[in-house]
Chain A
Amino acid sequence: MDKNAVVEKLIKLLEGSLGKSLVLSKDSTLLGDAGLESIQVIEYLCEVEDAFDVVVDEESLSHVSTFGDLASVVERISSE
């Protein structure tokens, strides 16, 4: 899966869980642009892990701010 496809899947997942469509791109931030509260981010990340069948530790997430960053982490862990 290329990175754009991962980003697209990540945004679709979020739209699914919030039940609304969102105008977001790889440069949108989870906390700012997507308007998530930090606790909602945790729940969303659990869904991301399940969708990609990976486990992502907190440390790997510490530099994630955009959907693009998150896609890179998911890709890296999937390929390990």
Chain B
Amino acid sequence: MSLFSKFDAAAALESTLSSMPVNPTSIVISKVVSASEAIVNGRSTIMAGTNNYLGLTFDADCISAGQAALAETGTGTTGSRMANGTYKEHLQLEDELAVFFDLPHAMVFSTGYSANLGILTALLDADDSVLLDSEGHASLYDGCRMSGAKIYRFKHNDPEGLAKRLSRLGEKAKDALIVVEGLYSVRGDCAPLKEFVDVKAQYGGILLVDEAHSLGLYGENGRGLVEEYELKDDVDFIVGTFSKSLGSIGGFCVSKHPQLKLVRYASRPYIFTASPSPSVIATTREALKKVQHGQGLREKVWHNAKHLYKAFAELGLDIGPTVSPVIGVSFQDREKAFSCWQDLLSLGIYTNLILPPAAPDGGSLIRCSVTAAHSETQVDSIISAFKKVCKERNVGRLN
């Protein structure tokens, strides 16, 4: 087998995708008009497939903060904090994150992906066991793999499944790492965190929650699902990203454990990559303030989420039981999912097409998300487009 023959499968996939009228992996956004609108394939389009939950990408204060940082501090740090120095703004952001989460320790990474690799590889080694939700994000899985720890998967959102596995691990359970998310990004369902915490109390274990999608959306201060359920003292590590509700890029971990400080010395994905650039730090810091005082934004996004969910339920679409700003619409066959997704795009609604193997249950999904930036009219346009497409394609209850 030649070095390049491993690309045969990818080439076949590419050729199938390219033969489709619109290749879902090659969508080009030629102009971003606002946090909720863009020119896609030459057409003005409502963006209903982003993670821009609070709509902060075009926030005037975030933009000014980024511009000022660019002018004052330059375009990039050009290196790692361990080798090339920490900017005072990195430390300020870490302090502000600790205050925001009301936890003593915080650490910033260059992306959410590297935060997960960085924390998991520092926490785990080959002698450890990690229990991972079966629908955990790729970055969580990759971090566990990279650490060499023994990985045990349990069924998605199944505390009983977790309990059984911990009990079978016996003595090892008390030091096992349990890894779950807050809000799941594809179907928009939430982890039963209270139940997971109860399991942890019974069998032991260290609990890590990835709040990538729940930050900004849940809890009085927008800290996430851990805040919503008042579980701060029961969770050991919270990781997350700046790339979704904060509209920036970067990742973080916060914790009550002082060992988090030592992760800097033990985490290759932290040490061997360039630190976040000044403008990124500046927009993130500004956005964090907006989240903290973001009751208005949260009200807006939840209002939109409820409106959309109710309409989808009325259309008889196959959606999960949880109301959230993310709705995954399931389809029996991938051709139908693809045609509906394409029809929606041609009507000026951009959503995310998720086909196997990426879809959680091996099926096909259209992921639709709303944000605080969507106007009532835009949400209504999303709904009428779905209504039209579903009728024409015989999907849902209307048929």
A39-B134 in contact given A46-B155, A46-B161, A55-B165 (Cβ < 8 Å): yes
Complex Cα distance A1/B168, Å? Answer: 20
Complex Cα distance A56/B131, Å? Answer: 11
**Is A42's CB under 8 angstroms from B134's CB?**
yes
CB of B63 within 8 Å of the partner chain: no
CB of A4 within 8 Å of the partner chain: no
CB of B360 within 8 Å of the partner chain: yes
**Is B152's CB under 8 angstroms from A57's CB?**
yes
Contacts of B161 in A (CB 8 A): 46, 50
CB of A49 within 8 Å of the partner chain: yes
**Is B360's CB under 8 angstroms from A39's CB?**
yes
CB of A37 within 8 Å of the partner chain: yes
Complex Cα distance A57/B165, Å? Answer: 11
Q: Which of A37, A45, A49, A58 contacts B357 (CB 8 A)?
A: A37
Contacts of A38 in B (CB 8 A): 357
**Is B151's CB under 8 angstroms from A43's CB?**
no
**Chain A residues touching B, majority SS:** helix
**Is B154's CB under 8 angstroms from A59's CB?**
no
A36-B165 in contact given A45-B153, A58-B153 (Cβ < 8 Å): no
**Is A59's CB under 8 angstroms from B150's CB?**
yes
CB of B123 within 8 Å of the partner chain: no
CB of B362 within 8 Å of the partner chain: yes
A59-B134 in contact given A36-B362, A38-B357, A39-B361 (Cβ < 8 Å): no
Complex Cα distance A44/B194, Å? Answer: 26
**Is B360's CB under 8 angstroms from A55's CB?**
no
CB of A33 within 8 Å of the partner chain: no
- From 15 to 39 in chain A, residues with beta carbon under 8 angstroms from any chain B beta carbon are 36-39
A43-B134 in contact given A53-B168, A55-B168, A55-B169 (Cβ < 8 Å): yes
- From 46 to 80 in chain A, residues with beta carbon under 8 angstroms from any chain B beta carbon are 46, 49-50, 53-59
CB of B85 within 8 Å of the partner chain: no
Q: Which of B150, B153, B168, B360 contacts A46 (CB 8 A)?
A: B153
| Closest chain B residue, CB of each to CB of A31 | B357
Q: Which of B129, B168, B362 contacts A40 (CB 8 A)?
A: B362
Complex Cα distance A43/B357, Å? Answer: 13
Complex Cα distance A55/B162, Å? Answer: 11
Complex Cα distance A37/B156, Å? Answer: 16
| Closest chain A residue, CB of each to CB of B131 | A55
CB of B356 within 8 Å of the partner chain: yes
A39-B165 in contact given A46-B155, A55-B152, A57-B151 (Cβ < 8 Å): no
**Is B168's CB under 8 angstroms from A39's CB?**
no
CB of B393 within 8 Å of the partner chain: no
Contacts of B164 in A (CB 8 A): 49-50
**Is A37's CB under 8 angstroms from B154's CB?**
no
Instruction: Give the Cβ gap from A67 to chain B, nearest Cβ, in Å.
Output: 18
Complex Cα distance A46/B135, Å? Answer: 13
Complex Cα distance A49/B163, Å? Answer: 13
| Closest chain A residue, CB of each to CB of B126 | A59
A39-B155 in contact given A49-B165, A53-B168 (Cβ < 8 Å): no
Complex Cα distance A43/B361, Å? Answer: 9
| Closest chain A residue, CB of each to CB of B362 | A37
Instruction: Give the Cβ gap from A35 to chain B, nearest Cβ, in Å.
Output: 10
Complex Cα distance A73/B149, Å? Answer: 18
| Closest chain A residue, CB of each to CB of B152 | A55
Contacts of A39 in B (CB 8 A): 134-135, 356-357, 359-362
Instruction: Give the Cβ gap from A36 to chain B, nearest Cβ, in Å.
Output: 7
- From 163 to 177 in chain B, residues with beta carbon under 8 angstroms from any chain A beta carbon are 164-165, 168-169
| Closest chain A residue, CB of each to CB of B160 | A50
Contacts of A45 in B (CB 8 A): 153
Q: Which of B151, B156, B168, B357 contacts A54 (CB 8 A)?
A: B168
Contacts of B360 in A (CB 8 A): 39
Q: What are 15 A-B contacts defined by CB distance under 8 Å?
A: A37-B356, A39-B356, A39-B362, A40-B362, A42-B134, A43-B361, A45-B153, A46-B134, A46-B154, A46-B155, A49-B164, A55-B165, A57-B129, A59-B150, A59-B151
Given contacts A37-B357, A58-B153, 9 further A-B contacts (CB under 8 A): A39-B134, A39-B357, A40-B362, A42-B153, A43-B134, A43-B361, A50-B164, A57-B151, A58-B150
The 4 closest A-B pairs by CB, nearest first: A37-B362, A58-B151, A57-B150, A40-B362
